[in-house]
Structure 1
């Protein structure tokens, strides 16, 4: 639980720092590129010291490439959501990922989804409506749309990770995601790279280090504790992002944000609980792997 809490704190710092970097003129391509570039040696060293370099061998490079493509777009959209929305609100909408995971599992994988989980899905969407209050215009519509799109892509990544998890170790998945993403990002940097001052380079370094650390901590947390125990720690992101947002001068979330967050978190926790229960009876309803935070590998 402590490892998962630290992982979520690192992810919150990463995304909020990405918001600050954007204010310093850093574009999204640069943010994603340096996040992966700086994290790559951290990830490789961790794999080498734990499962060994030989564990990165794979015969499923095509599936890894699919995971990279979806995950990379989702990562960029997550960074963008923290730029367009206050940190706490961006994090809260990100909590809808388990909801979309349930929907995609039913539509794509044709998994049985009972009334309990569909009820949780409706509760979660009610929480989104309470929080954003479309009629009030508190938040830019494009920001909400980007955050929801990021949650959908993150849910899609979870489905791909389920498939990879049958044959690949977690460190292997993290390594190939980080390495393969360097090709499209490196190509894009030919057009988007620009000079920065020392302070901005420091922000990019922080993004890469805490991003790579989060990957390690997320993997380690699942090594020492079951998903049903560590998953609720993901929702601590609302605390970290609220505090970080206040620290950088974003103020405190509105009352409707807190109410919506309670509904969305309740929805996600109930879905997780149902998955835990159904995992014990796979013939009735196979579990859906989900996480409240964006998978980082």
Structure 2
């Protein structure tokens, strides 16, 4: 089949199927990114890898910025971009350290508890009304984390704690994204993230700096930036093609992708408890996404004459 014929077949698919396809592609890229960090960490410190990853992604966005002009990233919310990038760099530094210290599949599964912390943060900091069903889903998801970590049954060390810390920082980044998305364009957010996270990741990188000494390492670093950029491009297309609540669960494909790559590259096989905990986290995440979709539809539903005022005043905001 020719590339044009393949492209025509893909474009003929329903929008939800295209969104699911792009999200699956993004999950594969993100899983590959974790493995690349693990591989490069044998020669460079994770902090330095984080800098090259951020700078590389920014470099890949510069041609677009040069073509469009600086006006496309004009913003009045500089502090919001800084806050988002601070959460992002903390998440990245802890995550890049984690993947060098524990099995990649186990670390990835724990990191997917981030939506659970997002729910807590939305209730505490954004004053969002979270219903009992989502709280139950959050508790169920935390039970999945406990199945993976199993405190009391084996030693919970620095790697597990760092993985949980990375999930908390990812949740903070998610909440900041949610706030910024109301006024900023996706591409502008990516550019500002690249600028600030490159700046924020440079000082810790300088503390452990060693210049890449071989040509193949420079190739790895360029590939790292390219894969990160492709992952974000695929994510953007996934959310553009279909509802976020539909495509988001396909991101969990990252867990078996990482598990497979970890097994092939490092003979790391997740145990039964890791898979059971992962299943609980995934179930909690999918349920939360579905409840969020119902909430959004309820809020966006057109008013019904003669009924709307009574419904809003008598019941209040929909609970999820």
Q: Tell me the CA shift for residue 212 of structure 1.
A: 1.5
Q: Tell me the CA shift for residue 107 of structure 1.
A: 1.2
Q: What is the TM-score with the length of structure 1 in the denominator?
A: 0.89
C-alpha contact (below 8 Å) 1:10/1:214 kept by paired residues: yes
Of residues 15, 35, 56 in structure 2, which corresponds to 1:38? 56
C-alpha contact (below 8 Å) 1:68/1:181 kept by paired residues: yes
C-alpha contact (below 8 Å) 2:88/2:197 kept by paired residues: no
Q: What is the TM-score with the length of structure 2 in the denominator?
A: 0.83
Return 197-206 or 35-44, whichever deviates more: 197-206
Deviations 1:207-259 (A, max 9, x none): 21111211221112111221012101110011110111012123211011111
Distance 1:46 1:274, change over 3 A: farther
Deviations 1:171-223 (A, max 9, x none): 11111000122223334444322133233333222221111211221112111
1:11 alignment counterpart: 30
Return 75-84 or 94-103, whichever deviates more: 75-84
C-alpha contact (below 8 Å) 2:114/2:168 kept by paired residues: yes
C-alpha contact (below 8 Å) 1:86/1:250 kept by paired residues: no
1:284 aligns with 2:302: no
2:47 alignment counterpart: 29
Deviations 1:23-78 (A, max 9, x none): 23x112211111011111222335667x7753211121111111111111111112
Q: Tell me the CA shift for residue 285 of structure 1.
A: 4.0
1:89 aligns with 2:106: yes
C-alpha contact (below 8 Å) 1:94/1:148 kept by paired residues: yes
Written as runs of structure 1 = structure 2, the 5 A alignment for 1:147-296 is: 147-195=163-211, 196-282=213-299, 284-285=317-318
Distance 1:184 1:95, change over 3 A: closer
1:71 aligns with 2:78: no
Computed over aligned residues only, the root mean square deviation of the Cα atoms, in angstroms, reads: 1.9
1:103 alignment counterpart: 120
C-alpha contact (below 8 Å) 1:3/1:220 kept by paired residues: yes
Deviations 1:92-134 (A, max 9, x none): 1111111111111111122111110111011111111112222
Distance 1:47 1:254, change over 3 A: farther
Gaps spanning 5+ residues in structure 1: where? 288-297
C-alpha contact (below 8 Å) 2:89/2:200 kept by paired residues: no
1:127 alignment counterpart: 144
C-alpha contact (below 8 Å) 1:279/1:285 kept by paired residues: no
- Is the partner of 1:248 in helix, strand or coil? helix
- Is the partner of 2:266 in helix, strand or coil? coil
C-alpha contact (below 8 Å) 2:121/2:172 kept by paired residues: yes
C-alpha contact (below 8 Å) 2:29/2:228 kept by paired residues: yes
- Is the partner of 1:117 in helix, strand or coil? helix
C-alpha contact (below 8 Å) 1:84/1:140 kept by paired residues: no
- Is the partner of 1:23 in helix, strand or coil? coil
C-alpha contact (below 8 Å) 1:111/1:286 kept by paired residues: no
C-alpha contact (below 8 Å) 2:149/2:156 kept by paired residues: no
